[in-house]
Chains A and B, each alone.
Chain A
Amino acid sequence: MRLAPLQRAFQRHVYRPGAPMARQVAAGPRADAGRRLDVYASAYRARLVEALAEDYPALRLQLGERRFDGLAREFIAAQPSTFRNLRWYGADLARLLGSAPLAELARFEWALGLAFDAADAPLLRGADLAGIPPARWPRLRFRLHPSVQRLALRSNAPDLWRAAIREKKRAAPKGRRRAAPWLVWRKGFEPFYRKLAADEAWALEALARGRDFAALCSGLRRWAGEAGAAQRGAQLLRNWLAQGLLCPLR
């Protein structure tokens, strides 16, 4: 058999072990063709299960090893990897969990992973803003660090994650009626997360859409009133700088 059909047949065998490939393989001194081919088929599953377990340690603890293994194998059967790098294979695992709190735990855990090795970028510092004349402030457009992600969560997924990772314990999954906004980002080399107040979630969304500082402050009137909006805008900006959420101005 020529190279291309041989590789296609072998790959099919790894996905779905069956007879045709065994005809292409010679028996070894101690193991027949079927046994030799099995090494590849079972190693494939074991390797991907292991990669998913590394991506989702909290989900694994919360589900228990056996249920996680079942979930991982279901995912692997449904989704052959098209990634060069195993790092990205598990991105869609949450899809198999539907909209339950555990699906949100998976999304949350994946977001922390993305923050961990998101692109490096310099940070905007307070000193960078010190020299900007007051007249330019309304038109300033801030940029988020590449690690910053915003998630809407209808469950206690972050609590589940913390219990699993920090205390090696399961916690009771709980749903909420309304989604709450959460922030995930990296400071230094550590991923961080926190819940967002409604006005801050709105402001970050506006910022991400490229709205300028005047628009942010103007929108914040909804929560802080006419008198307090500029002050709240300045306060949020100080927090964002301190937490390393922003990149230098263009």
Chain B
Amino acid sequence: MSTISGFGLGLRPRHYQAILRERPRLDWFEALSENYMVPGGRPLDYLTRIRARYPVVLHGVSLSIGSADPLDRAYLKALKALATRIEPAWISDHLCWTGVGGKNLHDLMPLPYTEEALKHVARRVRAVQDFLGRRIVLENVSTYVEYRASVMSEWQFLAALCAEADCDLLLDVNNVYVSAFNHGFDTLEFLDGLPGARVRQIHLAGHDHSGDLIIDTHDARVIGPVWDLYREALRRFGPVPTMIERDARIPPLAVLMREVRHARAVASSTLRKAA
């Protein structure tokens, strides 16, 4: 597997032209797999041209690794074909399910943290990794419910899954913050519970605070407490490739580049102190 380092940005259509014109100082881009799982045309052309200039990782939302439905072979074939074309450093998706009974809720639905779910997901991760011929990277999602059926914490589930399925982690620091607020757990306990060697990538994003719950909207700047939590992650996991993720109310590239520069500064000062 090839690899990436440094600081990246989620690739969004609004920025295609600016990226090709301005060649922003970024180490890599993260492309949303499903946006390019189309027959042809402009999106694939842009991705191919940007890939010629930057390393890329692929990030999906439809793998539905935790669904009780059978794995979707057609989806996996299309994903593999895209990976052959783009040669991403890695492929990530989310630890969640997106639908059952052949339906799709197009959302990152939370899993119960049970032994049954762990075995089920681990088996599927191994099957997906066998099919794709590479280790996959799974992201912790923002959640708004906790099931009564759960018998372990999210971080215990993630750690057990990595051990059992030999997969890697995409640590979304904002999602840790969001879920911790929604469920009342300790963010540092979450970080301390993760297998550090598995943390392959970090997401930073903004969210919407609605009083009783925080909703993971990716439509705003990263807030101070999430930067603080990012520092804590860096102290534990070292210089993990980090990116800014924005999916709604997407500002011009220059605005996001300021956030990327801030991430660089935060990482370099934190890691210097740690050394």
Measured CB to CB, the residues of A under 8 A from B are 1-4, 6-8, 10-11, 14, 23-26, 28-31, 33, 35-37, 39-40, 43-44, 47-48, 51, 80-87, 89, 116-121, 146-147, 186, 189
Contact of B103 with A by CB under 8 A = yes
Residue from B42, B117, B145 within 8 A of A36 (CB atoms): B145
A–B complex contacts, Cβ < 8 Å, 15 sampled: A6-B147, A7-B68, A7-B100, A8-B100, A25-B147, A26-B146, A26-B147, A28-B213, A82-B102, A82-B104, A85-B34, A86-B34, A117-B40, A118-B39, A189-B42
Count the B residues whose beta carbon is within 8 Å of the partner chain — how many? 47
**Nearest chain-B residue to A147 (Cβ)?**
B41
Q: In the bound complex, do residue B213 and residue A146 qualify as a contact, i.e. CB atoms below 8 Å apart?
A: no
Residues from chain B with Cβ under 8 Å of A116 in the complex: 41-42
Q: In the bound complex, do residue B42 and residue A6 qualify as a contact, i.e. CB atoms below 8 Å apart?
A: no
Contact of B182 with A by CB under 8 A = yes
Residue from A8, A31, A87, A118 within 8 A of B40 (CB atoms): A118
A28-B184, A36-B144, A120-B44 are known contacts. Are A81 and B39 too (CB-CB below 8 A)?
A: no
A7-B109, A44-B106 are known contacts. Are A24 and B148 too (CB-CB below 8 A)?
A: yes
Contact of B114 with A by CB under 8 A = yes
Q: In the bound complex, do residue B145 and residue A11 qualify as a contact, i.e. CB atoms below 8 Å apart?
A: no
A47-B106, A85-B37, A189-B45 are known contacts. Are A11 and B149 too (CB-CB below 8 A)?
A: no
CA A1 – CA B114 in complex, angstroms? 10
CB distance from A106 to the nearest CB of B (A): 20
B216-258 contact mask (Cβ, 8 Å, vs A): 1 or 0: 0000000000000000000000000000000000000000000
Q: In the bound complex, do residue B215 and residue A39 qualify as a contact, i.e. CB atoms below 8 Å apart?
A: yes
Q: In the bound complex, do residue A186 and residue B41 qualify as a contact, i.e. CB atoms below 8 Å apart?
A: yes
Residues from chain A with Cβ under 8 Å of B184 in the complex: 28-29
CA A36 – CA B147 in complex, angstroms? 11
Residues from chain A with Cβ under 8 Å of B196 in the complex: none
Residue from A4, A31, A39, A120 within 8 A of B100 (CB atoms): A4
CB distance from B117 to the nearest CB of A (A): 5
Residues from chain B with Cβ under 8 Å of A25 in the complex: 145-148
Residues from chain A with Cβ under 8 Å of B112 in the complex: 1, 3, 6
CB distance from A15 to the nearest CB of B (A): 9
